[in-house]
Each structure stands twice: as C-alpha cells, then as structure tokens.
Amino acid sequence: MQLRDITRTPGRFRRLSQILQVLVRHGFGHLVYRLKLHEHLPIGRRFLEKHVPEDVPLPARTVRVLQELGPLYVKLGQFLSTRPDIVPEEFISEFCKLQREVKPFDPRLARATIEAELKSPINKLFAEFQDKPLACGSIAQVHAARLKDLTEVVVKVKRPGIEEVVWSDLDLLSLIAERAERIEELKFFCPTMLVEEFYRLINNEMDFVSEASNTAKFYNLYARDPNVVIPRVYWDLSTSSVLTLQRMKHTSAGDLALLEATGVDKKKLATTLLRNFIEQYFKAGLFHADPHPGNLMVTREGQLCMIDFGQVGHISDDLKGQLTTALLALLQKDMDLYIEVFTDLGAIPEDGKLEALRLALRETIEKFMGIPIKRIDPRRAFFDMMKVARDYHLILPRDFVLLGKSFTTVTSMARQLDPDLDLQVMVAPFARSFFIESLSRERISRLAREGSWHLSNLLSHGPREARQLLKKLLTGKMQVSLRHVELDNFAYELDRSSNRLALSIILAATVISSSLVMMAKVGPTWQDMPLIGILGYLFATIMGIWLAIGIFRSGRL
C-alpha cells in the first residue's frame, strides 16, 4: 500500500501518527525524520521530545516501543528474536523478555465465536466450558473444557476483529520497511524481507487449521513412541478461528525441582528429549521451532509432551544434506569442508571479502575445537557463528537459523537434566545414517529421474521458446520493463508539489478577485461591504492557513 493510500484512510492515518509519536517519545525522532514520515506527526511533536532518554540502552528503548504499540508489535519482537543472523545479540536478549500474556477478552465473545464457527450451541458441543481463560495471547485465548464423554480439552479461540487490526498494522509495517530500505545503515537488516517473513508467520498463526495440521503431523509421527505424547486434534470441533486439542496434565521440563520431587528419571528424559529432536532434524524434516520450557512438558508418567505447534520449521533434502555434511566435517575436524558448507547456505558477498569470511569462520570454530564436547556451550557457539554471519552480511535460510536456535535450546535443557550427556554420541549415528542414505541407490535413482524430467522438458520447450524470443527481438516487439525504486516516491512528491502550486494560484486569483469586488462594491453587502468579497477573503484565508500548515508539517520551508 502506498503512503498516499494510507494517509487518505482516517483510521490508518491516526494509527501511523500514533506509531510515529511513540517512536519520537522514546528517542527515535531522528529515525522518523530519516524515514521522511515526520510530516505525519502533530505540529506540537515536531520540535518536542527529540532527545534520547538518558541511561536507557537502545535495545531496552526498542522493547519499550514494541510494548507500547501493542500485541502485534510484541509478537514482532518475539519474531525478531529468532533471527540472530540479522539482529545483534544484545537486541535478541531484550526481545526474549517480551511477554505474550495480554488482557483477556470477554468470555461471552469467546462463546459466541465458538457457536458461530461450529454452528451449534456451546452446551451441545461441550459438557463443561470454563469462562476463565487458561492463557491469553495477542491473537487468541485458551479455555478449558470437557467433551460429552468427559475428556478434558483446551479450546483456543481467536480474538474478535483481530484480522482487521493485524492487517492494518502490517500495511503500516510494510510502508515503514520500504522506507527503511532506503537508509544505508538499515539496509543490512533487510527490513522488507523481515516484514514479509513476519507476514507469513502471522498469516499461519491467524489460521488455526495450519496449527492443527502441524499438531496432527507430530501426533502421527510419535503415535507409536511410548516416551512421547502429542495432544490429539479434534477436527470436528476445530475451524480457522477455533482449535480444540486434548488437554495434557504435565510439568514443565525446565522445572528441575518439581521433576526431582515427582521421581522423574531425568537422565532418561534428557536422552528422550535430545533423541527425538535429532530425529526431527534428520528424519522427519519437520521440527518444533519454539521448544522453550513452556512448550516442552513432562507427564506424570515421565513422558515427554510437546505442545504449541504454531511455529514449525521445515528442512528440505538439500538443507538436510548440508547440515549432515557440516556435522560430519566438525566431528572429523575438516575445517575447509565445513566452511564450504556454511558459505553455501548464505548469499556470499561479491565485494572480495570471501577470504576474510573464511578466516573469521575458522577462528570462531577453532575456539571450540580443543574443548571437550560436554564443556562447550552450544548457545555461545551458535551466537558466535551468527555474529560472523552479521559481520559479513550473510542472510541465511530462516529454517536453518530456526534449527540452530531449536537445537541450542533443546541441548541446553537436556544438559540441565543430565550434565554428563554426550552430544557427539547422540548426534553422530544420525548424521552418518543420513549421509549413507543420501548415497543410496534409491535416492540417486530418484534424483536421476527428476533430473531427466527437467532435461527432457528443456529439450522439448527450449527451442520453441528461444525461437519466439528471437522473433520478438528481430521484429522489434521485445519489451523491457524497468522500475526505479525511488520513482514512486518522486512521483508522489511531484504530484503533491503540483497540487500545492495549483492551490496557490487559485488562492492568489481569489484574493485579486475579492479585492476587485470590494473596490467595485457590487452584489449584496454586509455593513456596507460586498458579501462576495468578504467570503472570498475568508475562503482564501482558511485555505492559505491550511496550505501553510501542510508546508510547515513537511519540514521544507
């Protein structure tokens, strides 16, 4: 959406102005001016509160802005915490403090939403429904309930009207991201790409069918594993706005004292936790991307329970192969192979810094090579690698970064449960197994079949398309479309300047005409003065003041 479209919509114009005022209030006034959005601030805010708050670090001020702007921006901060390859570590630490809990909405609205979505009275759907929510989020809240057979479930209900609020704010975020791309210091953060990723994330979270599908996939994946429990999805009680899941009685996997008190075998739990996530990475190609202690639980029987599949990562065969090769290279201390795999994952800069990148990766990895596996801090190693990616402007695949964060989180939890857990013993068999499988006759045959199809398709359609292209070129019908990234803004500014010039001419003509009428004293009068002349002066005065305010607000006197 263009800026002129947003500013012509009163609700969005007010929201944009509110966002800009919050930025100015927290010391980001200079950013508002560099984004060329200051003209949408109230006049009184132009020269006030442009100072930077004392003794408040930049990351903390950023978190305050997100918290003040509302739940969607809190979720934006949580999303940014998953991109340590782009966002510096000090910001990641602050973003991780953002809380998801928000004020609950009226349970009567929740009941109305359930009845409208499931097309039945709530007392016919559930034997019991608790109005007090178990948890509240920016998009939905969760209620406890019982089915007619007394099975305990949780019902996730979308907030009424949340779609309009979310899409409106996302339009404004897209606008700000497009402006930020033009600022050299912000270009590296890839604001447009991040907003597009955030849009896809929110789009998935807004559709509960997507979360239900992910939950069902994991339920089927672990259906025969006695050590892992996944909530069951009740499809007949679920829609895009209502999600009904089996309720699990559990304890947080991070509550070590309670696990000890209940007699849970922590060593066995640590092995189960790490083994199952490694299987997700190397076998399933689908992994839980948000495995914090609130989403990893332990049942009374000591089983691992995974919940909340709103964020799921996917690993393609290519990414899986690169991951396997990288792990084997680390285990065998083959630094050159590891560096090659790592550089293949990102966009290598074309500015001649490839050798410097290789050296930085080698220095970072070799810091950990002489340390026993059990003494290495996976989180520290991961963030050090991400710092190299930031320093050399490598934008890694999002699923690869999510995998790294997921693995470091799970590894840290497993080590808390069992400090003697040997990562190498756990990971190496899976990596070798996948490596051998990737060289199997079946996989090579499948790749050959896929390659032959692409080749035959190229041979079949290539000559015809090349002939059509050459024909257009020879007849002069070849068309090339060019789009200048700054041209839209230039056209908008030119259009606005033309309108102001036209209005100035009209006002000048109005003043001259009114003066002639006043001198001629024609038409109806008021207190011996021509009424038409008075109205002309009044119109010119009001429009002149309005024009002056617009010019003053633009900051271009």
Catalytic residues: 290
β partners of residue 299? 250
Strand bridging mode 286-288 / 228-229: unpaired
Q: List helix spans (H) across 392-486.
A: 398-417, 423-438, 441-474
Residue 316 three-state SS: coil
Residue among 253, 171, 158 at smallest CA distance from 208: 158
Tokens at residue 259, please?
């696990």
Across 73-160, the runs of DSSP E, i.e. the strands, are: 128-129, 135-136, 140-146, 152-158
First-to-last C-alpha distance (Å) of the chain: 28
The one-letter amino acid code at 118 reads L
d(CA 403, CA 430): 16
The closest of 37, 60, 58 to 183, measured between CA atoms, is 37
Rg of the chain, C-alpha, whole Å: 31
- Do 266 and 417 contact (CB within 8 A), yes or no? yes
Residue pair 237/244 in contact by the 8 Å Cβ criterion: yes
- Beta strand 525-526 pairing with 529-530: antiparallel
**DSSP β-bridge partners for residue 129:** 145
Who's near 219: CB < 8 A, 6+ residues apart?
230, 231, 232, 233
Residue 31 has which token pair? 């950013």
Cα 24 to chain center, whole Å?
24
CB 286 within 8 A of CB 280: yes
Surface-to-core class of residue 263, CB atoms within 10 Å of its CB (0-12 exposed, 13-18 middle, 19+ buried): exposed
- The span from the CA of 39 to the CA of 5, in Å, is 15
The string of DSSP letters for 238-268 reads: --SSEEEEE---EEETT-HHHHHHTT--HHH
Reduced 3-state DSSP string for 380-414? HHHHHHHHHHHHCCCCCCHHHHHHHHHHHHHHHHH
Residue 272: burial class (beta carbons within 10 Å; 0-12, 13-18, 19+): buried
3-state secondary structure of 244: strand
Break the chain down into helix, strand, coil percent, rounded to 5.
60, 10, 30
Would you call 295 helix, strand, or coil by DSSP? coil
